[in-house]
Structure 1
Amino acid sequence: MRRRAFLGAAAAAATLAGCEPAPAIEGGFTGIDVGRGHALRDGALGAQATPDATRRTRVVIAGGGVAGLAAARALRLAGIEEFALLELEDTAGGNSRAGELQGIACPLGAHYLPLPGDQAPEVQDLLEEFGLRRRVAGRWTYDERHLCHSPQERLFFQGSWQDGLLPTQGVGTGTLEAYRRFAARVDAMRREARFSIPTLRSELAPALLALDALPFETWLVREGFADAHLRWYLDYCCRDDYGAGLAHVSAWAGIHYFASRHGFHAPGEDYGEREAVLTWPEGNAWLARRLAQPLGDRLRTGQVVTRIEETRHGVEVDAVDVANGSRVRWQAERCIVALPAFIAARVVEAAPERLRQAAATLRYAPWLVANVHLRAALADRPGAAPSWDNVVHGSSGLGYVDAGHQALDPTPRATVLTWYRPLGPSRWDGPDARRQLLERPWSAWRDELLAELSLPHPDIAALATRIDITRHGHAMAIPAPGWLARMGAPARVQAGRLAFAHADWSGYSIFEEAFTRGHLAAA
């Protein structure tokens, strides 16, 4: 951006950040009741020797995120219908839940699913069950209504929009050469070692463990990748998939982002058709709701699990019903613990060493997800057309997705933009980000959002009617250096009558990891 344009944008941002009265936009915090988790953390729910009620079932699933929902599905597929799924929030789905603004569905977290490869047959089967995937003339095809429509992504860079997220507009030959060299390096590493999603189907070869030992930034310096545009993009990718910057994730994670899927595409190189993704206005809640729908009253929401203990003849699971404060003790043959590692280690009595190690090792990225209702279409800067994914170069946020992008009618109209702001360790945020997420008022996050998005859309404050903000205190596990060496990539984590299922066991949080681990824990 030229100096004059930059100063103008900075002035606009300063105005929105508080130098003048903030626009009158309704909104607030929504989506997650942080008090429930904090009551468990602070011991406010305490143990109670005699429960208010005792119930019996065959299997208890603790946790109703994607892993817990996958476990429930796997039990049903195996003919086991006698189970209970206990979920903390008022709806199941974890990071794949959704909300609604002015009648428009929008995600509260995860908003897309890449087409799964052959290493994820469980996810492929799910998509086939839901009618998203089927064989036509001997080839697998996907329902195009659910594939992300074009244009898919664009970047606001140097004062205008460009296609794609890799900075290319006006960059020098040195940058283009850095892109080509990094693409070749990723391609070579894909041939040297197996990068797999889910990670439990990876082979922990010496090459992967060597990458795991280094921060991604250290590896980039060692390999001579110093170009600022390339490093911005790689940092963006790490914050997008892991919630933390390239100095805080392992080199294995940084390479895995590309090598486990579609590689790295340098501009001008012919890599064939770009990998497609499935997406919906409500994000991955489209999948989560269909997983939850058959469960009926076996899905019990608003339940805070306070104790899980293996007994002589089975398992006991204590939970507090937040609606009335009653305490229920579930007695079962087995328990699938589909909770984040740090919570599981708190509630599992005599927690196994592997769980204690995971809880002590893992670090989590807080996230903020803001949904902005617009009463009309935004004005736009020159360049590439409005896309599903729209990123502002050099900003603390990750840009926004448009809930109206999948509509078949292209007529401009009211819509909801979903803005993502990771708060894990990076050049933008330090170690107190989780405290900021909890303590900063809603208006401060509103102003940060408007300051960023006013650069490409100067009329956003005038058109926004409401901004709902969802806070995820422990949204994503961060694959920090050393994770693979310490924890490996176990296909199943089990201790006696307890089976553990969560994306945490993969060291990072995506749908395929959570779903596969939930499915295998129930198998």
Structure 2
Amino acid sequence: MQRRAFLHLPAAALALSGCEPAPAITGGFTGINVARGHALRDLGTPPAPRATRRTQVVIAGAGVAGLAAARALRLRGIEDFVLLELEDDAGGNARGAAVGGIACPQGAHYLPLPGADAHEVQDLLEEFGLRRRVAGRWQYDELSLCHSPQERLFFRGAWQEGLLPLAGVGADTLAQYRRFAAQVDALARASRFCIPALRAPFTAQHAALDAQTADAWLRAQGLTDVHLRWYLDYCCRDDYGAGLQRVSAWACIHYFASRHGFRAPQASATPEDLGAQGGADTENDAVLTWPEGNAWLTRRLAAPLGERLHTGHSVLRIRTERHGVAVDALRHADGSVVRWQAAQCIVTLPAFVAARVIEQPPAWLVDIARNLAYAPWLVANLHLAAPLQDRPGAAPAWDSVVYGEPGGGLGYVDARHQSLDPRPGPTVLSYYRALGDLPGARQQLLTQPWGHWRDAILAALAAPHPDLAQRLTRLDITRYGHAMAIPQPGTLRRLRQLSAAITDARGAQTANVRSGRLHFAHADWSGYSIFEEAFTRGHAAGSAV
């Protein structure tokens, strides 16, 4: 059923189909204060500060990179610093909440097990007791590893295990799955792909992939199967906020080659084997997750900071002076401006914000800010009074996705999936939409009323869950106007040229982007936004101050 047809059904028809009219559902926008985000634009010329304070280091922004920078300072014994954060709590895109008393994410909701190149993240997991070495092998906390079943796809009227479409697909589709798997393997052997991406040399092959869209590269390889393209488009939207026609071919290949590859069903697989394999492309690889998502990590990073963390502060201006840095911040509690004098500043703001608040920004910062595109995101937390009736096929999983869902939908995760309580009961489904492909998406996200998104979400999930409106009691929506940078063609090349020009004292390539007394740390400097990239950048800046 199309969304428009669903929304125009009369209430009686909805009731007969197992749905009740949506107006009984409560909820609203939460998590992000849009007015604060636009404070600098609305203020015009920042007012003079009422008070001046001094510290050794100012960290502008308390997202993952800012929290990582603070941890790196503390590891070095530097305790005289402050973090200035726009929102009422730290974490950036990795924050969480509770709806109806049930913890749930408001953004990023999992962390893949880090590889050897992400050693800073590995150290963090050891510090938090999430991994330890036993008899020479690393073991991860069983309670934090995603419980099985991990993923399922609503495809052709039923649920299947895994996210790669397999149920009833033809031989041509399976052949294209295998051809793409072979391409990923060949490219990974020819050039290294890793996370953090900076730790892989930028080769001519990387440059060629970065120069074109994923869509163009797939067509050039003759990979045009509708099911393969849907799956790859989903993967790109999941990590980058936009699909095959916007992200670079490098980004599409990096998604697989930097992690677990792409494992297609074997040529000898029978239809029964395909059902058992359930999406054997390896989205089955282990991840760490918690009911509140990656807020489990960011809250622990923020906990030791105490009064050094200043939430509800908008950074208005950063000025380099003769003997240090002056940072002006609007304190939203009383509308006053406070000036922080420091020896150095770690700027963990998105590039476009950094270019706006820094007086006389360097030309390379302006260039990066001008050329980065950002994907808006919507995260909706749906509180259910009781479990939903299920369609045939695979059992309920942590992550459930609807094949072909329009509007940028990425499905939902179940906040109670990690619970050890087997009894069915109320839960929260965290539903995601990546809007980077939709024209005017940011304006729509910020101007459309809550009811518009409520109806769109109910329509999107109507096929697998016709009783959703009957079970749904509350729907809270978090809006991110600039959720993440999109790795479009040319993004990686531009950032690599920058990192090659900014080196440490020994002339070696570094994850710390620096200009005088300013250190820049944000996932933007990697060209795409995941926890490992942001954390590594923040750690490098905190280690370099």
**Normalised by the shorter chain, which TM-score bucket?**
over 0.9
* Residue in structure 2 matched with residue 159 of structure 1 by the alignment: 157
Give the aligned partner of residue 37 of structure 1. 37
Q: Given the alignment of the two structures, is residue 336 of structure 1 paired with residue 330 of structure 2, yes or no?
A: no
In the alignment, structure 1 residue 214 sits paired with structure 2 residue 212: yes
Q: Does 1:419 align with 2:409?
A: no
8 A Cα contact 1:212 1:253, kept in partner: yes
1:136 aligned residue: 134
Q: Supply the AA of the counterpart residue of 1:333.
A: A
User: Aligned residue for 1:404?
Assistant: 416
Q: Residue 522 of structure 1 corresponds to which residue in structure 2?
A: 542
**Aligned pairs for 1:115-130 within 5 A:** 115-130=113-128
Q: Match of 2:368?
A: 358
Q: Distance in 2 between matches of 1:18 and 1:257?
A: 46
User: Which residue is equivalent to 2:18?
Assistant: none
Q: Tell me the SS of whatever aligns to 2:69.
A: helix
Show the counterpart of 1:24: 24
The aligned residue for residue 48 of structure 1 is: 47
Identity of aligned residues (%): 67
Tell me how many residue pairs correspond in the alignment: 511
Deviation at 1:11, TM superposition (A): 5.3
1:196 pairs with 2:194: yes
Q: Distance in 1 between matches of 2:65 and 2:38?
A: 22
Say if 1:84 and 1:45 are closer, same or farther in 2 by CA, change over 3 A: farther
Are residues 13 and 257 of structure 1, via their aligned partners in 2, closer, same or farther at CA, if it must alter by over 3 Å? farther
Is the Cα contact below 8 Å between 1:238 and 1:244 reproduced in 2? Answer: yes
Match of 2:459 in 1: 451
Cα deviation for residue 114 of structure 1 reads 0.2
Determine if contact 2:111/2:288 at 8 Å carries over to the other structure.
yes
Corresponding residue SS for 2:297: helix
Structure 2 counterpart of 1:504, from 521, 524, 542:
524
User: Which residue number in structure 2 is paired with residue 247 of structure 1?
Assistant: 245
Q: For 2:522 and 2:473, how far apart are their aligned partners in 1?
A: 37
1:227-242 correspondence to structure 2 within 5 Å: 227-242=225-240
Asked if structure 1 preserves the Cα contact closer than 8 Å seen for 2:325 and 2:342, the reply is: yes
Structure 1 stretches of 4+ moved >3 Å: 9-23, 268-274
Moved more, 104-113 or 346-355: 346-355
Amino acid in the other structure paired with 1:404: R
Change in CA separation of 1:136 and 1:13 when aligned onto 2, cut-off 3 Å: farther
| Residue identity in the other structure for 1:202 | A
Distance 1:505 1:352 in 2: 15
The one-letter amino acid paired with 2:125 is: L
Could you tell me how far 1:12 is from its partner in structure 2? Answer: 4.5
2:515 is matched with which residue: 488, 495, 516? 495
Q: Is the 8 A contact 1:375 1:415 kept in 2?
A: yes
Pairwise mapping of residues 282-431 of structure 1 onto structure 2 (< 5 A)?
A: 282-396=292-406, 397-425=409-437, 429-430=438-439
Question: Counterpart amino acid of 1:417?
Answer: L
Find the aligned partners of 1:22 and 1:338 in 2 and give their Cα distance: 40
For residue 200 of structure 1, report the CA deviation from its aligned partner.
1.5
Residues 104/48 of structure 1: CA separation in 2 closer, same or farther (3 Å cut): same
> Alpha-carbon deviations, 1:216-247, whole Å to 9, x = none?
00000000001000000011111111111100
Amino acid at match of 1:498: L
2:444 is matched with 436
Letter in 1 for 2:425: R
Which of residues 87, 107, 111 is equivalent to 1:109?
Answer: 107
Q: CA deviation at 1:164?
A: 0.4
Partner in structure 2 of residue 180 of structure 1: 178
8 A contact 1:364–1:478 mirrored in 2: yes
Identify if the C-alpha distance between structure 1 residues 358 and 406 changes in structure 2 by more than 3 Å, giving closer, same or farther.
Answer: same
CA–CA separation in structure 1 for the residues paired with 2:387 and 2:180? 38
SS at match of 2:361: coil
Cα contact 1:16–1:450 (8 A) shared by 2 = no
CA distance in 1, matches of 2:422, 2:389: 16
Partners of 1:380 and 1:45 in 2: how far apart?
Answer: 53
How far apart are the structure 2 equivalents of 1:18 and 1:401?
30
Q: Which runs of 5+ in 2 are unaligned?
A: 15-20, 268-279, 500-510
How far off its partner does 1:274 sit? Answer: 4.0
CA distance in 2 between partners of 1:348 and 1:146 (Å): 40
CA distance in structure 1 between the partners assigned to 2:283 and 2:423 by the alignment: 28
Structure 2 counterpart of 1:476, from 484, 490, 503:
484
Aligned with 1:82 (options 53, 61, 80):
80
Instruction: Determine helix, strand or coil for the equivalent of 2:494.
Output: helix
Under a length normalisation based on structure 2, what TM-score does the superposition of the two structures give?
0.91
Contact 1:304 1:320 survives alignment (8 Å): yes
Equivalent-residue separation in structure 2 for 1:203 and 1:18 (angstroms): 61
* Residue 272 (structure 1) shift: 8.8
Computed over aligned residues only, the root mean square deviation of the Cα atoms, in angstroms, reads 1.8
Q: Tell me, yes or no, if the aligned pair for 1:305 and 1:320 is still in contact at 8 Å.
A: yes
1:23 Cα deviation after fit = 3.8
Instruction: Give the drift of 1:109.
Output: 0.3
Partner of 2:147: 149
**Deviation string, structure 1 residues 27-63 (Cα, Å, up to 9, x no partner):** 1111100001112123x163234x1110000000000
How far does the alpha carbon of each residue in 1:73-101 deviate from its partner, in whole angstroms, 9 at most, with x for none? Answer: 00000000000000000000000001110
Structure 2 counterpart SS, 1:424: coil
Tell me the TM-score normalised to structure 1 length. Answer: 0.95
Instruction: Give the letter aligned to residue 161 of structure 2.
Output: D
Question: Is 2:475 the counterpart of 1:467?
Answer: yes
SS at structure 2 position matched to 1:292:
helix
Aligned to 1:278: 288
Per the alignment, in what secondary structure is the counterpart of residue 77 of structure 2?
Answer: coil
Task: Indicate whether 1:486 and 2:494 are aligned.
Answer: yes
Three-state SS of the structure 1 residue aligned to 2:24 is: coil
Distance 1:477 1:360, change over 3 A: same
Does the 8 A contact of 2:163 with 2:283 survive in 1?
Answer: no
Counterpart contact for 1:45–1:306, Cα < 8 Å: no
Q: CA deviation at 1:376?
A: 0.3
- Write the letter of the residue equivalent to 2:41: R
Deviations 1:423-455 (A, max 9, x none): 102xxx22x110000111100100111111121
Contact 1:168 1:267 in 2 (8 A): no
Partner of 1:3: none
Cα deviation, residue 18, structure 1: 13
For residue 357 of structure 1, what is the amino acid of its counterpart?
D
Contact kept? 2:162, 2:284, Cα under 8 Å: no
Give the corresponding residue for 2:9.
15
Amino acid paired to 2:539: H
SS at match of 1:474: strand
Residue identity matched to 2:106? L
Number of the residue aligned with 2:507: none
Provide the residue aligned with 1:513 in structure 2: 533
